[in-house]
Copies of this chain bind each other. A is one copy, B any other.
Amino acid sequence: MDTATPPGLRERKKQRTRDALLRAALELFTTRGYDNTTVDEIAEAVDVSQRTFFRYFAGKEDVAFAAQDIAHTHFVEAVRQRPPHEAPLEALRNAVLESWDTIEEAIEQVVPLELYLRMCRLTESTPALLASHLRRTDEVFEETARIIAEREGLDVDTDPRPRVAVAVFGGVIRVTERRWGTDGDLSVTAIRALTASYLDAVGPLLTEKWRTG
């Protein structure tokens, strides 16, 4: 698919502008806050016009999730790569845990990992960003459900199980995110451990009794 032609000056320049805008935006968002940062300020920080910003990113929200999109892509890809013998929830579990490893490197190629992590935390505390984030993950889970359905040889629109399984999984991921975004330990190691322990809590939930009394 990729054209073997090495990128010319034009392409390299575009890439640099995009990177600079992205980094400047995240830096400004995470220091001053999302709502307190204007698109003009981002553009000015990179010394381009506001109009140019909107040629690279569809909107202010878009640039905020540019790094997160990479993470989402990695997760979806990890789900696709899971061996067919794994049960659906097992495959999903392994996919998240595994993708957390490959994600670090991929993110670093665009923005410093620490900046991405700070952005995650900001997302949790900024209503507009949280809303957008939830919609984006909703889309990711829809795609995930289709993959799971295909794996199992089911029709996603007829059999409720693929979507329900992914929804259950997604619900747990959401709890993990919230906790991670609120807690002190903002590291990839921490979220890996948190994800694993929360996912393990699902099974017992449906059968065990909670109250000791």
Contacts and interface: CB of A to CB of B under 8 A. Distances in A.
Contacts of A134: 131, 134-135, 138
A167 interface: yes
Nearest to A204: B161
Q: How large is the interface on A (under 10, 10 to 19, 20 to 34, 35 or more residues)?
A: 35 or more
A174 B134 CA distance: 12
Interface string A196-213: 011001110110011101
B161 A172 contact: no
A150 to B, nearest CB: 12
A205 B163 contact: no
Given A163-B179, A167-B172, 6 more contacts: A131-B134, A134-B134, A134-B135, A161-B210, A169-B171, A206-B206
Interface of A: 87-89, 127, 130-132, 134-135, 138, 142, 152-154, 160-161, 163-172, 174-175, 178-179, 197-198, 201-203, 205-206, 209-211, 213
21 contacts: A87-B209, A87-B210, A89-B206, A127-B135, A134-B134, A134-B138, A152-B211, A160-B198, A161-B201, A161-B210, A163-B178, A163-B179, A164-B175, A164-B205, A167-B171, A167-B172, A168-B171, A168-B202, A169-B171, A171-B171, A202-B206
